[in-house]
Amino acid sequence: MSDVLTKITETATDVKSKINKKQKPEVKIPIRSLKNVNYDPKVGYFELKGAKKVRALTVNTIKSFAQTLKMMTLSKQVIEGNDMATKREAYYVSKNWGDARFKEQPESDAVMDDIEAMFMVNREQLGFVPEEKGGDIAGALTVIDKDTSTGKEIKIDCTKFGSGAYSIPSSVEQLKFETDAKFILAIETAGMFQRLVKHNYWRKENCILISMGGVPTRACRRFIRRLADDKKIPVYVFTDSDPYGFMSIYRTLKVGSGNAAHINKYFCVPQAKFLGVTPQDIIDYKLPTHPLKDVDKKKIKDVLKNDPFVREHKEWRKALELMQKMGQRAEQQALAAWGLNYVMNKYLPDKIKETKTFLP
Amino acid sequence: MQTTLSENKKEISHAIEQAKKQRDISISEFFTKNRHLLGFDNPLKAISTTIKEGVDNALDAAEDANILPDVIVEVKQTTPERYLVTIEDNGPGIVKEQIPNIFGRLLYGSKFHKLSQTRGQQGIGISAAGLYGQLTTGKPVKIISKIGKNDPAHHYELHLDTTKNESEIAKKEIIEWDKDHGTKISIEMEGKYQRGKRSVSEYMKYTAVSNPHARLTLIEPDGTRIDYPRGTTDLPIKPKEIKPHPDGIELGILINMLKATKAKTLQSFLTTEFSRIGAGTAKKICELAKLYTNSRPSRIAKDEADNLLKAIRGTKFIAPPTNCLSPIGNELLTKSLKKEFDADFYASVTRPAAVYRGNPFVVEAGIAYGGKLPGDSASEIIRFANRVPLQYQQSACSSIKSITDIKWRQYGLQQSGKNIPVGPVVIVVHIASVWVPFTSESKESIAHYPEIIKEIKLAVQECGRQLGKHVRKQKKVKDEAKKRSYLEKYVPIIGDALKELLDLQDPDVMLINENLKDQLERSRKI
């Protein structure tokens, strides 16, 4: 019996015995927020502290309690049938639950997140998969997957996609890798990725290019983590120079987030380093800038005060304070001000020669 | 500077020219130019103003004679534009010599100089209605009056001579009238009759609320008869006339009073011309003002009067006597609301008397809530001044200021910003005073005196608190029902889920459902 099925049975048994003893059944769910995480660089990711919220079965909570139990029955069915359900499908299955059905998908997603946190597993282990696209890969890498119908191994050569790219699947646990790449370059925007792919930048530097397309999905994070662990290759991250790039993208990739703290263990990439664009780069490369938006200013203030990751790393505090002082931000594409291929011919080679300038 | 003779002459001739133009403005001219002040600015308002003035007079007269008022109002259409408005009461009647004066002369009456709570205040009302009828139709005012069982009923038809401000008797006769005593007045006029907001029937309904001792009847042009029954057979306590109270007196008025008084000494002036000043207080005031108690009031100079005023302002007085006021009373107001509005909650409050500028006043408020009252629009606000409904210029009234200042959400009503609350609510505000301060001559809204705004707010808030309790209780009952249906819905789903998760048999599931339901029902606070 799988670990998750055991946990489901234990929970259900506990609820049943409490009911029959005429006590209030309850479930304990860890509180998922930045306030309830610890950061230790040696561990490498945001770890949950102890705080848990207790949801007792009362008249007011009976509906969500019923929904939680029903969601567990769905998980049980899927795992036992060796099947899987997308988050959207789970939402549609609930339409059979009578009065306990969900009105909108965010409601069913929230219940799913609760069960994840309750069991300290990720939703793939519960048998649920997201519809989101994982991210794009190009470069010196061969991915070994299995044919879903024959079970035979398939080798996917990521150098052979021409101007296209290999897509990370939503579940990456079964993949194996072959590569001799020197590093992985994780890129924020699809536009920058396209430019580097088109000019075969990966061949020049013998590296793997990954397009995250904004905040990386769980699959993308897990893919990078497994690849980097397996093949012991460094991970460099290349984003816009703004609080969103630093925190929402880079910090989430490296140490995880407060909201998904129960699964950061699987989805963090502790070995990631920040290549750029740093606030210092804005000055060194004389990049065209835009003024910080109000949300940016607020975010900087907030993370300087509350984010355990920023509090831990003096280099990040300095970088953010520099940005705060400048009041300016810059995009990756701003490097084009010095010529369309300046980023490939000058910026990236310069940076990669001086990995000491990377932010932790 | 020198002026030449010819220039002088020119100026003199100008003055003579102007003097030729200066003459009495005739009453009818004044009336036509100032219709709006008197409430005759449109055909719709003309009819309701006429009825209002007639009913006010009828109620005042009956109460004055200790008679329970019985008033019948009838509106009949005579031509497409004309209506005959008749107001009939069971009052004491009018002695025949006075009939031409009361109904035929403007500004004739006994109420104007009195300091006591009465409905009308200017004596302009019913004769203005007669004048309006005469101007628009040329028809005279018809009056029947009888003063006792054994006296004859007199029938008069009067024309108003607008140049002389006198009435002309067009017809007078003695007729048979099957009534012991009373007055019936009929005026034909151009007008328009409508139902709904600010209509005659709304006015009658509101009047029934503020006059629970009166029985009212309305017969509409299409023959519909609406009865507004009596809520009590007790007549309201008769308001008494009072002297001005020293709080809030002004310098100009004080100087005039000093000149006009018959008192020989300052001390007796203070004790006789004001209410709530006794000999001791009068002495203290004189001391404070550094004036002799035996100074002659007429010899008090302006500076000294100023000091006297300061001394008065620096002295504390007992609140003015309140027997000059006749509030409806909270119990009767609630009863009235129950009679006229089909709701499921009622509350009323009568505040203790307060003073603005030396005038005592009492504020009353009432609330009706729920039942068949319409729930999705702004609440209906009914304003009364000395029991008279105010139907126009609502937004300028201090009562609206008070009501919109209140945070109604705490009492369970919806309210956006500082607006009138929304919900199935009727809010009643009554201000009774010897002198109600209106914002204008048309007497439709009450002026913004801080003391009045505060009193109205306190009265309405008190009703609001009671309403809040009721609404919360109602909500609790509703929540209970909701919870019950919740249990019905979700307990079986939990049983169902556990059955699947643990492969249970049906009897196990039934036991779980029973136990769970039992546990939740027990833990639920009622």
Do A96 and A23 belong together in one domain? yes
Per the prediction, chain B carries an average pLDDT of 86
Of the candidates B494, B502, B512, the beta carbon closest to that of A65 is on B494
Q: Report, as an integer, the average pLDDT of A295-320.
A: 93
Q: B443 falls in which pLDDT band (50, 70, 90)?
A: confident
For residues B36 and B42, is the Cβ–Cβ distance under 8 A? no
CA distance B430 to B121: 17
Do A74 and A140 belong together in one domain? no
pLDDT beyond 50 at B461: yes
Place of tokens 């910080």: A292
Q: What is the pLDDT of residues A196-217, one digit of tens each?
A: 998 899 999 999 999 998 889 8
- In chain A, which residues have their Cβ closer than 8 Å to the Cβ of B520? 57-59, 62
pLDDT beyond 80 at B26: no
Q: Report, as an integer, the average pLDDT of B93-119.
A: 67
Q: What is the pLDDT of residue B12?
A: 64
CA distance B387 to B370: 25
CB–CB contact B486 A97 (8 Å): no
Catalytic residue among A39, A91, A92, A244: A92
Of the candidates A13, A23, A59, the beta carbon closest to that of B524 is on A59
Q: B3 falls in which pLDDT band (50, 70, 90)?
A: very low
Q: What is the pLDDT of residue B387?
A: 92
Q: Report, as an integer, the average pLDDT of A141-158.
A: 90
A22: region left, alpha or beta (phi > 0 left; psi from -120 to 50 alpha): left
Do A221 and A349 belong together in one domain? yes
CA closest to A71 among chain B residues: B497
CA closest to B496 among chain A residues: A70
Q: What is the pLDDT of residues A38-97, one digit of tens each?
A: 888 888 888 888 888 888 888 888 899 999 999 999 999 998 888 888 888 999 999 999
CA closest to B525 among chain A residues: A59
- Apex CA B226: angle with CA B221 and CA B232, to 5°? 145
Do A282 and A350 belong together in one domain? yes
CA closest to A73 among chain B residues: B501
Range in A23-32, B23-32, B304-313, B381-390 the model is least confident about: B23-32
- Report the SS3 class of residue A53: strand
Residues B441/B447/B452/B458 CA torsion (nearest 10 deg): 110
From A81, A106, A129, the end of a domain falls on A129
Token reading at B318: 């007992």
Q: What is the pLDDT of residue B2?
A: 46
Report the CATH number at residue A233. Answer: 3.40.1360.10
Do A192 and A275 belong together in one domain? yes
Q: What is the pLDDT of residues B34-48, one digit of tens each?
A: 777 777 888 888 998
pLDDT beyond 80 at B29: no
- Under DSSP, the state recorded for B422 is B
Do A156 and A296 belong together in one domain? yes
Q: What is the pLDDT of residue B22?
A: 56
Query: What phi and psi values does residue B63 have, to the nearest 5 degrees?
Result: -60, -40
Do A104 and A50 belong together in one domain? yes
CB pairs under 8 A between A and B: 76
What single-letter amino acid sits at A267?
Answer: F
Give residue A226's domain range.
Answer: 136-357
What single-letter amino acid sits at B499?
Answer: K
Q: What is the pLDDT of residue B501?
A: 92
- In chain B, which residues have their Cβ closer than 8 Å to the Cβ of A63? 486, 489-490
Of the candidates A9, A19, A23, the beta carbon closest to that of B512 is on A19
Do A166 and A102 belong together in one domain? no
- In chain A, which residues have their Cβ closer than 8 Å to the Cβ of B517? none
| β-bridge mates for residue B332, sequence order | none
CB–CB contact B493 A22 (8 Å): no
From A129, A160, A177, the end of a domain falls on A129
CA distance B211 to B89: 15
CB-based contact (8 Å) between B219 and chain A? no
- In chain A, which residues have their Cβ closer than 8 Å to the Cβ of B491? 62
Angstrom distances, CA of residue B49 to CA of A66, A206, B197: 66, 97, 15
From A129, A163, A191, the end of a domain falls on A129
CA closest to A18 among chain B residues: B516
Do A73 and A211 belong together in one domain? no
CB–CB contact B497 A98 (8 Å): no
Angle formed by the axes of helices B43-64 and B200-210, nearest 10°: 20
CB–CB contact B511 A20 (8 Å): yes
Distance from CA of B381 to the nearest CA of A (A): 38
What single-letter amino acid sits at B395?
Answer: S
Q: Among A239, A191, A210, which Cα is nearest to A137's?
A: A210
Q: What is the pLDDT of residue B111?
A: 46
Q: Report, as an integer, the average pLDDT of B51-74.
A: 92
Q: Quick one: what percent of chain B has pLDDT higher than 70? A: 89
- In chain B, which residues have their Cβ closer than 8 Å to the Cβ of A23? 519
pLDDT beyond 70 at A13: yes
Judging by beta carbons within 10 Å of its beta carbon (0-12, 13-18, 19+), is residue B11 exposed, middle or buried?
exposed
Report the CATH number at residue A61. Answer: 1.10.10.10
- Under DSSP, the state recorded for B412 is T
Do A216 and A241 belong together in one domain? yes
Q: Which of A17, A23, A62 has the highest number of chain B CBs within 10 A, making it the mutation to test binding with B?
A: A62
Q: What is the pLDDT of residues B251-275, one digit of tens each?
A: 888 888 898 888 999 999 999 988 8
Do A65 and A145 belong together in one domain? no
Token reading at A185: 């370059």
- The whole-model pTM stands at 0.60
Inter-residue long-range contacts of B312-319, CB under 8 Å, 24+ positions, other chains counted: B312/B246, B312/B249, B312/B254, B312/B285, B314/B288, B315/B246, B315/B281, B315/B284, B315/B285, B315/B288, B317/B245, B317/B246, B317/B247, B317/B276, B317/B277, B317/B281, B318/B276, B319/B245, B319/B276, B319/B352, B319/B353, B319/B354, B319/B355, B319/B360
CB–CB contact A97 B501 (8 Å): no
Which residues from A are below 8 Å from B when comparing CB atoms?
A: 8-9, 12-13, 15-16, 19-20, 22-24, 57-59, 62-63, 65-66, 69-70, 72-73, 76, 97-100
CB–CB contact B515 A97 (8 Å): no
- In chain B, which residues have their Cβ closer than 8 Å to the Cβ of A24? 519, 523
Distance from CA of B477 to the nearest CA of A (A): 15
Range in A23-37, A64-78, A123-137, B198-212 the model is least confident about: A123-137
- Report the SS3 class of residue B379: coil
Q: What is the pLDDT of residue B19?
A: 61
Label the pairing between strands A142-146 and A176-178.
antiparallel
Q: What is the pLDDT of residues B468-509, one digit of tens each?
A: 999 999 888 888 888 888 888 899 999 999 999 999 998 999
CB–CB contact A73 B497 (8 Å): yes
Place of tokens 């007008």: B191
CA distance A294 to B49: 61
Q: Which of A26, A27, A59 has the highest number of chain B CBs within 10 A, making it the mutation to test binding with B?
A: A59
Do A353 and A320 belong together in one domain? yes
Query: What phi and psi values does residue A67 have, to the nearest 5 degrees?
Result: -65, -40
Angstrom distances, CA of residue B90 to CA of A303, B78, B207, B208, B453: 84, 26, 17, 16, 37
Judge whether A91 counts as a catalytic residue: no
| β-bridge mates for residue B267, sequence order | none
Q: Which of B493, B502, B508 has the highest number of chain A CBs within 10 A, making it the mutation to test binding with A?
A: B493
Count up the domains in chain A and report the number.
2
Q: Among B167, B29, B163, which Cα is nearest to B104's?
A: B167
The secondary structure of A302-332, three-state, reads HHHHHCHHHHHCHHHHHHHHHHHHHCEEECH
The total of other beta-carbon atoms located within 10 Å of residue A228's CB is 20
